[in-house]
Amino acid sequence: MRLVGPIMSGRSSSERAGPTSVLERILRSYRPAGFLPVLLTVLLVAFALFIPNFVAVQNLLNVLRSSSYLVIIAAGQMLVLIVGGFDLSQGAVVALTSVTSALVMVAFKETFANEPGLIILVGVLAGLGCGAIVGLVNGLCVAFLRISPFMVTLGTMSIATGCALLLTSGIPVYGMPKSYVEGFGRGLWLDLPTAFYLAAAVVAVIWVMQNYTRMGRYILAIGGNMQAAIVSGVPAKTYLILSYVICSMLASVSGLAFTAQLGSGQAVINAQLTLESIAAAVIAGVSIKGGVGRVEMVALGAILLLTLTNAMDLLRIDPRIQAIFLGIIVVLAVALDELSQRRAALV
């Protein structure tokens, strides 16, 4: 028989923690929630002071617009990371959404010649449909076949990229309604890019979902302790699948806005996009082991990342060097996450 006495939890963390190096202590006390806003502010001030043109209105609008796309994608990535998964197919979904929505709009150009609104609607629905399908496939494979999210999304990434290229042979698709491109994609509302409002709305909705609905709590619970969630009666598979679907559909939303801004459907998009979205989430303290993540922090993470990119662009740093830099940031952020988890595990 087992001997389990009442004393087993007797040792408090302070008694147990041994002497540690200063560096270790700094690393262990790393808290993205307090750290990130401060870092972002410091960087913004520093860039404003030392980089010419950084505070130019046009430049700031650019940063805001490009971060908006990333905020939307990273918010989706966050949901999947929280449930303990990964989504490598996001970038491919953006590309597939881009060409599909553009092709559908072009195809219906004659049918609804006088109804640009209707053309846009079918295009947008087709784009969102792409995201929904890819997300559903990802979610079903992870929840029911129990394939590792890494492999599933690596596979769907390849499939979605292949489809996008097949549909267009790599040639950009032109001919979307003017109102979609000029009015929505490149438009400004109250002097701010439309994508900004879209991103703000996405963050607001997910924030409410995380804090005030069952779904938010279930997603955290699934990532925190899947078995506990199941035993407690949480329909874990449903919410697991839902997370993947929302993640992919947010990639689609971003893809639609991006396409509208470009004015053409593109099968070849920024290859770094998926990595950037994971980076934004991880910088913001989303644990790659699941169970932890706040959307408002992820939004800040995305803005921070693109502010850095913009500053490097202005300083004319070689994009290839920027890629190296992005990789280092991702690895560092994950290492910090790992270290803070180890601290927690000692308690």
Out of 229, 242, 280, 306, point to the residue binding other proteins (CB under 8 A). Answer: 229
Return the number of the residue (86 or 218) whose C-beta is nearest other proteins.
Answer: 218
Return the number of the residue (197 or 212) whose C-beta is nearest other proteins.
Answer: 212
Return the number of the residue (4 or 57) whose C-beta is nearest other proteins.
Answer: 4
Nearest to 75 by CA among 188, 209, 234, 239: 209
Minimum distance, C-beta of residue 24 to other proteins, in the bound complex (Å)? 11
Q: Residue 285 and residue 303: Cα distance in Å, rounded? A: 14
Pairing of strands 192-193, 188-189: antiparallel
Is residue 246 part of the contact set for other proteins (CB under 8 A)? no
Is residue 238 part of the contact set for other proteins (CB under 8 A)? no
CA angle 79, 85, 90 (to 5 degrees): 70
Amino acid identity, position 227: Q
Angle separating helix axes 295-314 and 194-212, nearest 10 degrees: 150
Return the number of the residue (11 or 25) whose C-beta is nearest other proteins.
Answer: 11
Is residue 227 part of the contact set for other proteins (CB under 8 A)? yes
Nearest to 98 by CA among 269, 227, 289: 269
Q: Please provide residue 112's backbone torsions phi and psi, each rounded to the nearest 5 degrees.
A: -110, 55
Considering only residues 112 to 151 of the shown chain, the ones binding other proteins according to CB under 8 A are none
Is residue 224 part of the contact set for other proteins (CB under 8 A)? yes
Count CA within 13 A, CB hemisphere, residue 73. Answer: 34
Is residue 204 part of the contact set for other proteins (CB under 8 A)? no
Q: Which two tokens stand for residue 253?
A: 């939303």
Q: Which stretch binds other proteins (CB under 8 A): 2-10, 156-164, 245-253, 321-329?
A: 2-10
Amino acid identity, position 65: R
Site string for other proteins, 13-52 (x = CB under 8 A): --xxxx----------------------------------
Minimum distance, C-beta of residue 220 to other proteins, in the bound complex (Å)? 6
